[in-house]
Structure 1
Amino acid sequence: MIERISDIGNIRQLNEDTYGILEDEVFNLFLICDGMGGHNAGEVASALAKETVLDFMKGIKQEELLLPSLMKAITKANHEIYALSSKEKTMSGMGTTMTAALSHHGRLDVAHVGDSSLYVVYNNEIKKITKDHSYVQELVDLGKITEEDAKHHPNKNIITRAVGTNLHVEIEAYTRQTEHEETYLLCTDGLSDYLSAQEILEKLSGSQDMHKSMMELVDLAKERGGRDNITLVIFGGEALK
């Protein structure tokens, strides 16, 4: 099962989110990007990141090379975005989040930069796997504010890491074992800023029509403001290698 949806939201003139899916004999790769920058630069950054990573990963067959190759692919995307933003004044400072999940041989390798999110839904529970690289998350980690405070903090959209904004990028990696009964959700902060994990769980857990459930999540985010682009990729079942 693989479902995806991307919505411009209520306010933005441009959808700077993008997602990518690569189905291979050895692995399945799912990724999501949320671009930032002036003019159309955010759209350029997120699209370039997606295309660079998907192109790099095509044809990688050896299991032990998959996660290292994914890290190299994101590093390559970082270099390409940074080089383009350095050359083109209208794209100066552009960048993108990147959260990528690579399923193979009963495991999920995750590479993460920024504040897009990966959740797992299993046994009527939801857990966020990724940790935001953001200013408010740092405040939470230091004990200066609570998780609840973070949801309403005026600087909640300031991220501390992005692909393409600096010459070097720091990528956080996770690995977990998977179960075929699990469902995974990748989403940009256009969803997670407006809905709690519990609200997401209520829509997805036991859903018989996952695409309809995704549309309901998007509609709910828009009802609550929808000031950002909203993108979701959901995968599980036979999509887990």
Structure 2
Amino acid sequence: MDQISLAVNGRTDIGQVREENEDSIRWYASSDKPFAYIVVADGMGGYSGGATASKIAAETIQSHMDDLLKHTFISCTPEQQQLILRATLTEAINSANNALLNTKNLNPQFSKMGTTIVVAVMWYDFLIVAHIGDSRAYLWNNYGLQRLTRDHSVVQEMVDSGQMTQQQAKQSNVRNHITRALGVSSSVEAEINSWKLTENALLLVCSDGLTEYLDDHAIERVLATHRPALESVYRFIDDANKLGGRDNITAGILEYSSQPMPQMLAKEQNVTQRPRSPDVTIRKSQR
């Protein structure tokens, strides 16, 4: 079995224009197990409403993630663990939604608040991502950049239906209008996808304050060249601020690396290695 190393870093910034930071970020990497996660929420809803919404959502999901590594989970098979991860993410997001609705009921001044959410969790080489809204997750490795989420937004629906090009979407007056959010209705449906990583990789989780200014090519350039990789979060924030910083900006980086165990290397030294076919970098897990 390969030796897997996970490391995370994150940063959120108010930007150049806003008076309040309505983004929230939480991240964690276990010191003794190959487990890590990043949570990014981008709140909305008037004075202090957006900040409250993103904070409640991020903290609620963080609490569920922190409770995951119990004895029952560790003792399960890999297949069972993957199912538990998916169920835990679903439960965490539903709990966050209920917490927001309860807060709104108790505090009328928060009646219009809501938030996007994107959560990325790594367990060994298994990556699972859940999102609602237009906060995003990207994966980069030696094969390039791949966007792992699809925005729940008006312009994305128009692009999908052929009514608008990607370039037009970037300039649209409704580019920040989302079609799904946390804390808006009693039922919420997160989009959840999972992959098995097969190469060393960097995972970027971010709010739209970053992608407003940096397109996929700019994001890939930073992830491919900025080292140490975890410090690229500061570069992303700085670049977005230099380009205008009209929104709050949040970025989290998870660095995944896998190396053969030392004893395995010793055994393989006398074996002629066959050339490895360039399979796809990541592949969807069976559901």
TM-score range relative to shorter protein: over 0.9
Q: 2-side partners of 1:220 and 1:135: how far apart? A: 26
**Cα deviations across residues 126-166 of structure 1 (Å, max 9, x unaligned)?**
11110000010010111100111111110000001111111
User: 1:157-212 CA deviation, whole Å, 9 max, x = no partner?
Assistant: 00011111111111100001113511000010000011111011111204223355
Counterpart check, 1:10 vs 2:16: yes
Give, in whole Å, the separation in 2 of the partners of 1:213 and 1:2. 11
8 Å CA contact 1:180, 1:236 repeated in 2: no
The residue type equivalent to 1:137 in the other structure is: Q
The Cα RMSD (Å) is 1.6
Q: Which residue of 1 aligns with 2:47?
A: 39
In structure 2, which of residues 84, 107, 111 is the aligned counterpart of residue 65 of structure 1? 84
Cα 1:6–1:102, aligned 2, differ >3 Å: closer, same or farther? Answer: same
Look up the equivalent residue of 1:129 and give its one-letter code.
Answer: L
1:205 counterpart SS class: helix
Among 116, 119, 136, the alignment partner of 1:117 is: 136
- Report what 2:28 is aligned to: 22
Partners of 2:8 and 2:230 within 8 A in 1: no
Distance 1:65 1:38 in 2: 36
* Alignment partner, residue 265 of structure 2: none
C-alpha distance in structure 1 between counterparts of 2:67 and 2:236, whole Å: 35
Q: TM-score, normalising length from structure 2?
A: 0.79
CA–CA distance in 1 between the matches of 2:157 and 2:134? Answer: 12
Letter in 2 for 1:226: G
2:162 aligned partner? 143
Counterpart residue identity of residue 161, structure 1: R
CA distance in 2, matches of 1:107, 1:144: 36
Shift, 1:238, TM fit:
4.9
The answer on 1:190 being equivalent to 2:198 is no
Which residue does 2:283 correspond to in 1? none
Greater displacement, 184-193 / 63-72: 63-72
- Unmatched runs of 5 consecutive residues or more in structure 1: none
| 1:154-233 aligned within 5 A | 154-233=173-252
How far did 1:21 drift?
1.6
* Cα-to-partner distance string for 1:67-111 (whole Å, 9 max, x where unaligned): 101110110100110121122111012111110011113110111
Q: Aligned partners of 1:72, 1:56: CA distance in 2, in Å?
A: 8
Q: TM-score, normalised by structure 1?
A: 0.94
- Name the larger-Rg structure: 2
Distance between the aligned counterparts of 2:232 and 2:125, measured in 1?
Answer: 26
Taking the aligned partners of 1:104 and 1:165, their CA distance within structure 2 comes to: 31
- For 1:228 and 1:208, locate their aligned partners in 2 and report how far apart those are by CA, in whole Å: 26
Aligned residue for 2:217, secondary structure, equals: helix
Which of these residues, 103, 128, 147, is aligned with residue 122 of structure 2? 103
Alignment partner of 1:225: what SS? coil
Is the Cα–Cα contact under 8 Å of residues 113 and 133 in structure 1 kept in the other structure? Answer: yes
Q: Find the aligned partners of 1:27 and 1:213 in 2 and give their Cα distance.
A: 21
Counterparts of 2:29 and 2:84 in 1: how far apart (Å)?
17
Match of 1:51 in 2: 59
- Residue 216 (structure 1) shift: 2.6
> SS state of the match for residue 150, structure 2?
coil
Q: Is the 8 A contact 2:201 2:257 kept in 1?
A: no
CA distance in 1, matches of 2:199, 2:39: 19
Query: What is the identity percentage for the equivalent residue pairs of Structure 1 and Structure 2?
Result: 35
Q: How many residues align?
A: 239
Amino acid at match of 1:103: M
